[in-house]
Structure 1
Amino acid sequence: DKGISKVLITTDSNIIDARLHDPLVRSLEKKGIQYKIFDGVQENPSESVVEAATKALKENSCEAVLGLGGGSSIDTAKLSALSAKNPGSLLKYEGADMYEKLPETVIAIPTTAGTGSEVSQSAIITDQLNKRKISIRGKDIAPKIAILDPELLMTVPLRLAASTGMDAFAHAIEAFQSTAATPLSDLCAIKALDLISQNIRPFVYNRENKQAAKAMSMGAMLAGIAFANGRVGLPHAMSLPLTARYNIPHGTACAVLLAKCVKHSWKANPRRFAIIAKVIGEKVHSLSLTERAQKAANAIQQLCHDLDIPENFKEWNIPSSAVIQMSKDVLSSKIHETNCMKVGYEEIAFIYSELI
């Protein structure tokens, strides 16, 4: 309908090796749409990866970018589409609506249930020189089309299924407790929490469970809409330095941080955390508001235990001296500012210190 005759597919070598792109390629060929595959996507895409994808986009005269894979593949699609129209380093576009020209059309096909990048208005790029992950945001960055195919989730390794699922779970919780929450983000967050809490265990334990895969795919998308409109909070803000500096998988970092941050934040809005506890299946009928709110963190801890998520970051051997710079990184990102409980350097440093 958009008159697109040639697309760039951004993906990674694992997707190609698993032949997950075959149905897509057959569909494009059937429609007479030409394509070029860029399979150089890496986890936590850097500026050099995006530059290579942008070069492929321009040299092959592609009119759209199709991200096939996890959040890194879809973010690479978004960023290369933006870079093709806006010159210079992408790092200068950090923040909201800092670019001038509209990006090329982006289409997203996720192969994990987690990042919500297929519907979000942001993309993350790693500043390798300064070991920072930065967020580039704007409503024009969101993919124009998102295609959810639960069958693509069925080859996801167990640990990746667990960490990406917890990323989506964190998106929903953070969006619901956010000071920027809206009626739309609330509706999406609550439904996402319902779907994910009921299906993440059966999906992780058996990725061939089609019903669970479908529910997780929908839950991750709804969580993506929730945080695109209501923003994220402290867990995601604190996860970024851990990923940028110590290469801890993003979903794992968020999962480890989530219960600690909820324990720190629930007093700022106990009613919302009580709702979270009820939606994710905790028995709260006869409890006081305080007791119901506290149940949320307990449920998150149990879920992480059931999914074999690490209790802390000790296996990554992060030196205690790193707490200072990581805490400063969190504050400079400003992503934490929509957390319902306001935090400063001391609170952030304390949480890091407890986990490393």
Structure 2
Amino acid sequence: MKYLLVLSNGGKKRFYHNYMYSKFSLDRKLSVEITVDDYPDSDKLIKLINSLSHSNFDKIFAIGGGSVIDIAKVLSVFLPIANQRKIKNLQEEDLDLFKEKKIHLTAVPTTSGTGAEATQFATIWDHINLKKYSIDHPSLLPEEFLLDSNFLNTLSYENFLYPVLDCVSHTLESIWNSNRNASSLILSEKSLKIISNEIGKLSKHNYKDIDFSKILLASNLAGQAINTTRTSIAHAISYEYTIKQGVPHGLACSFTIPKIHYFILKEVNDAIYKNFLKYTSKIIEHLESLELLNMVNKFEKDNTNIIDLSTLNPSRLNTFLVKPSIKTLEDFTNE
């Protein structure tokens, strides 16, 4: 057996590779380690795939945050393709032709919110054209995942906060979503219940009091929910802020949530969403106390790229309960 271990540079410094060798009884002599960057770049990823194309790995193991797991998901599907021909464009490949050849993937999330271990899509970034796109196919779903909350104990407040905010966004967006169904709503409610019980401790001085195992479970449940529904309007807005202003993903997709919440209650009057107010009211109140927009504005001041809300990804906007106007989108992002 030959193994590929994918982790971040930070994970390498924290000796995550040693954890994986021990936990899964991997032979170091039969393993190849690679470290990857945050926010996977499409050009770099294609080069990586082609450079590893003839390695013939039997299994891939990924340990890290959402970016690490997303990269490993792409590798698990595209390496068998690259073994036969050079990859030039990730979006042009017909993954149905190779779904039986994908490499077995085990994912171990070390952050508290992406849910990437439970989804069949991966986020890829085009840093030249300042665009984000997704690769979405059932074969990208990891065959196996392991939730170990001990990793959350090592995170700084910011590194814990942003993924939790991403989890909150996933949970809420799976509800205010045109693709929701009975199964996804059950998952969303389970996640909401956990978040509403724990979010009051989400502050710089108290976050260590959060039950990490529960918040990691909430992240996984929310990941399962968006695997059915996909994300929605908050994420559609977020990508502009992340790729143009450098706003961390979890923060970028959560600062608009309170205003979207009130918009749905006032303008959409969605009966299903109202059923969850016993959870969401507490969550929204705490998000407002965090003053997330002020955090976002600190990033904007250091960057000259202009946010253009008219160019948002329609695949994410179209999952929202109603079609928002540009003015509505602007209202979501302004004070």
What TM-score range do you get, normalising by the shorter chain? 0.7 to 0.9
In the alignment, which residue of structure 1 is the partner of 2:259? 260
Contact 1:162 / 1:200 at 8 angstroms: preserved in 2? no
Q: What are structure 1's unaligned runs of at least 5 residues?
A: 281-295
2:224 counterpart letter in structure 1: I
TM-score (norm 1): 0.82
TM-score (norm 2): 0.87
Contact 2:73 / 2:105 at 8 angstroms: preserved in 1? yes
In the alignment, which residue of structure 1 is the partner of 2:80? 85
Q: 1:65 is paired with a residue of what secondary structure?
A: strand
- Cα RMSD for the two superposed structures: 2.7
In the alignment, which residue of structure 1 is the partner of 2:311? 329
In the alignment, which residue of structure 2 is the partner of 1:18? 14
Query: Counterparts of 1:59 and 1:239 in 2: how far apart (Å)?
Result: 37
In the alignment, which residue of structure 1 is the partner of 2:98? 101
- 1:58-100 Cα deviation digits (max 9, x unpaired): 3533122222100000001011222213453344259xx7664
Q: How many residues align?
A: 326
In the alignment, which residue of structure 2 is the partner of 1:192? 191
In the alignment, which residue of structure 1 is the partner of 2:270? 270
In the alignment, which residue of structure 2 is the partner of 1:168? 167
2:274 counterpart letter in structure 1: A
Contact 1:123 / 1:137 at 8 angstroms: preserved in 2? yes
Q: 1:314 is paired with a residue of what secondary structure?
A: helix
- The verdict on how the C-alpha distance between 1:342 and 1:185 changes in structure 2, with shifts beyond 3 A counting, is same
1:80 counterpart letter in structure 2: L
Q: What are structure 2's unaligned runs of at least 5 residues?
A: none
In the alignment, which residue of structure 2 is the partner of 1:44? 39
Contact 1:67 / 1:77 at 8 angstroms: preserved in 2? yes
Query: Counterparts of 1:45 and 1:30 in 2: how far apart (Å)?
Result: 26
Query: Counterparts of 1:333 and 1:315 in 2: how far apart (Å)?
Result: 28
In the alignment, which residue of structure 2 is the partner of 1:302? 285
- The verdict on how the C-alpha distance between 1:58 and 1:193 changes in structure 2, with shifts beyond 3 A counting, is same
In the alignment, which residue of structure 1 is the partner of 2:70? 75
Q: 1:118 is paired with a residue of what secondary structure?
A: helix
Contact 1:28 / 1:34 at 8 angstroms: preserved in 2? no
Contact 2:7 / 2:34 at 8 angstroms: preserved in 1? yes
Query: Counterparts of 2:61 and 2:33 in 1: how far apart (Å)?
Result: 9
1:351 counterpart letter in structure 2: F
Within a 5 Å distance, the mapping from 1:201-280 to structure 2 comes to: 201-202=200-201, 205=205, 209=209, 212-266=211-265, 267-280=267-280
In the alignment, which residue of structure 2 is the partner of 1:314? 297
Query: Counterparts of 2:284 and 2:17 in 1: how far apart (Å)?
Result: 36
Contact 1:54 / 1:81 at 8 angstroms: preserved in 2? no
1:338 counterpart letter in structure 2: T
- 1:82-127 Cα deviation digits (max 9, x unpaired): 2213453344259xx7664223222110001111100011100001
1:268 counterpart letter in structure 2: V
Contact 1:235 / 1:254 at 8 angstroms: preserved in 2? yes
- The verdict on how the C-alpha distance between 1:91 and 1:243 changes in structure 2, with shifts beyond 3 A counting, is farther
